[in-house]
Amino acid sequence: MIPRELQDYNQWVCWTRVDRTRTKLPICPATCKSASCTDPATWGNYQQAQATASRRRLDGIGFVFTSEDPYTGVDLDYCRTIRGELEPWASEIVKRLNSYTEWSPSGEGLHILVKASLPTCGGRRTRGIEIYSSGRYFTITGDLLDQTPSTIEDRQAEVHDLVAALDRQSQRQPELLKTPTPVAQTDEELIRRARDAKNGAKFQKLWAGDTSDYCGDHSRADAALCSLLAYYTNGDQGRIDRLFRSSGLYRKKWDRPTAGSTYGSITIQAVVRSAT
216, pLDDT greater than 80: no
Q: Look at residue 195 and tell me if it is in a domain.
A: yes
pLDDT at residue 214, rounded to an integer:
81
Q: Within this chain, do residues 54 and 154 fall inside the same structural domain, yes or no?
A: yes
Q: Within this chain, do residues 168 and 212 fall inside the same structural domain, yes or no?
A: no
Q: Look at residue 182 and tell me if it is in a domain.
A: no
Q: Within this chain, do residues 192 and 168 fall inside the same structural domain, yes or no?
A: no
Q: Within this chain, do residues 150 and 35 fall inside the same structural domain, yes or no?
A: yes
Question: pLDDT tens across 108-147, in order?
Answer: 899 999 999 986 655 666 667 889 999 899 999 999 999 9
Q: Within this chain, do residues 168 and 191 fall inside the same structural domain, yes or no?
A: no
Q: Which of 140, 172, 204 represents a domain boundary (last residue)?
A: 172
Mean pLDDT of the chain: 87
Selected residue with higher pLDDT from 182 and 126: 182
Q: Look at residue 151 and tell me if it is in a domain.
A: yes
DSSP bridge pairs for 103? 110
12, pLDDT greater than 90: yes
Question: pLDDT tens across 228-246, in order?
Answer: 999 999 889 999 999 999 9
Q: Which helix (H) or strand (E) holds 14?
A: strand 12-17
The domain containing residue 267 runs over which residues? 187-275
Q: Look at residue 102 and tell me if it is in a domain.
A: yes
Q: Within this chain, do residues 27 and 147 fall inside the same structural domain, yes or no?
A: yes
Mean pLDDT of 39-52: 97
Q: Strands 153-154 and 110-115: what pairing? A: parallel
171, pLDDT greater than 90: no
**DSSP type of residue 86:** B
Q: Within this chain, do residues 15 and 129 fall inside the same structural domain, yes or no?
A: yes
What band does 41 get if pLDDT is binned at 50, 70 and 90? very high
pLDDT at residue 177, rounded to an integer:
44
Q: Within this chain, do residues 117 and 55 fall inside the same structural domain, yes or no?
A: yes
Q: Within this chain, do residues 191 and 166 fall inside the same structural domain, yes or no?
A: no
Question: pLDDT tens across 70-94, in order?
Answer: 999 999 987 877 677 888 889 999 9
Q: Which of 172, 202, 223 represents a domain boundary (last residue)?
A: 172
What band does 208 get if pLDDT is binned at 50, 70 and 90? very high
Q: Look at residue 154 and tell me if it is in a domain.
A: yes
Q: Strands 110-115 and 71-76: what pairing? A: antiparallel
Q: Look at residue 262 and tell me if it is in a domain.
A: yes
Q: Look at residue 178 and tell me if it is in a domain.
A: no
Q: Within this chain, do residues 31 and 152 fall inside the same structural domain, yes or no?
A: yes
Distance CA 235, CA 239 (A): 8
**Residues annotated catalytic, as ranges:** 75, 77, 111, 130
Q: Within this chain, do residues 165 and 103 fall inside the same structural domain, yes or no?
A: yes
Q: Which helix (H) or strand (E) holds 258?
A: strand 257-258
Judge contact between 264 and 209, C-beta under 8 A: no
Q: Look at residue 180 and tell me if it is in a domain.
A: no
Question: How many domains is the chain built from?
Answer: 2
Q: Within this chain, do residues 223 and 157 fall inside the same structural domain, yes or no?
A: no
**Residue 211 dihedral angles phi and psi, to the nearest 5°:** -105, 10
